[in-house]
């Protein structure tokens, strides 16, 4: 019986710790990779409305020096590291595992002229030893 209680507690802690993530930005980018973007955006063919239907409103828009329009989309996910939940140890070190995705689309005359998708993973650390 004692073993069962320990297993249930351990499983509960594992589930609880794995669900601690903060997401911000355009969640439509969350599960995309470079190959997915290549399949849905075609230079010289995909329109502004087409990009808007795929990814929604851009988070920012700008005009380049040559008059082309630039739309930016981004997505950030931060997941707590397991060490954050270890008593006393978390006084000295803690952090998050981070994932950042970005999509920049350049338009000329309402058509996609160019685009760039990037995805990176990293970490943020804090505490007395960082």
Model pLDDT for residues 98-114, shown as the tens digit of each residue: 999 999 999 999 999 99
pLDDT of 38-68, one tens digit each? Answer: 999 999 999 999 999 999 999 999 999 999 9
Q: What are phi and psi of 57, to 5 degrees?
A: -70, 140
**Among candidate residues 70, 65, 69, the one with its CA nearest the CA of residue 102:** 70
Instruction: Assess whether pLDDT exceeds 90 at residue 115.
Output: yes
Instruction: Assess whether pLDDT exceeds 50 at residue 86.
Output: yes
What residues pair up with 126 in beta bridges, in sequence order? 94
Write the Ramachandran bin of 21: left for phi over 0, alpha for psi from -120 to 50, otherwise beta.
beta
Q: For residues 124 and 95, what is the distance between their CA atoms, to the nearest angstrom? A: 5
Instruction: Assess whether pLDDT exceeds 60 at residue 117.
Output: yes
Helix (H) or strand (E) holding 18: helix 2-18
More confident call, 14 vs 125: 125
66: helix, strand or coil: coil
**What does the DSSP assignment read for 8-68?**
HHHHHHHHHHHT-EEEEE-GGGTT--HHHHHHH--TTT-BHHHHHHHH-S-SEEEE-TTS-
pLDDT of 7-42, one tens digit each? Answer: 444 544 544 555 578 998 999 999 999 999 999 999
């Amino acid at each position: 019986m004692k073993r069962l209680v320990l297993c249930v507690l351990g499983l509960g802690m594992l589930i609880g710790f794995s669900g601690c993530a903060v997401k911000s930005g355009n969640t439509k980018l969350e599960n995309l990779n470079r190959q997915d973007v290549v399949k849905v955006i075609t230079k010289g063919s995909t329109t502004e409305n087409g990009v808007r239907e795929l990814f929604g409103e851009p988070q920012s828009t700008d005009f380049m020096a040559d008059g082309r329009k630039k739309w930016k989309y981004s997505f950030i996910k931060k997941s707590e590291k397991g060490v954050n939940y270890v008593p006393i140890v978390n006084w000295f070190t803690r952090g998050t595992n981070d994932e950042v995705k970005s999509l920049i689309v350049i338009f000329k005359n309402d058509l996609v002229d160019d685009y760039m998708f990037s995805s990176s993973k990293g970490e943020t650390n804090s505490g007395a030893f960082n």
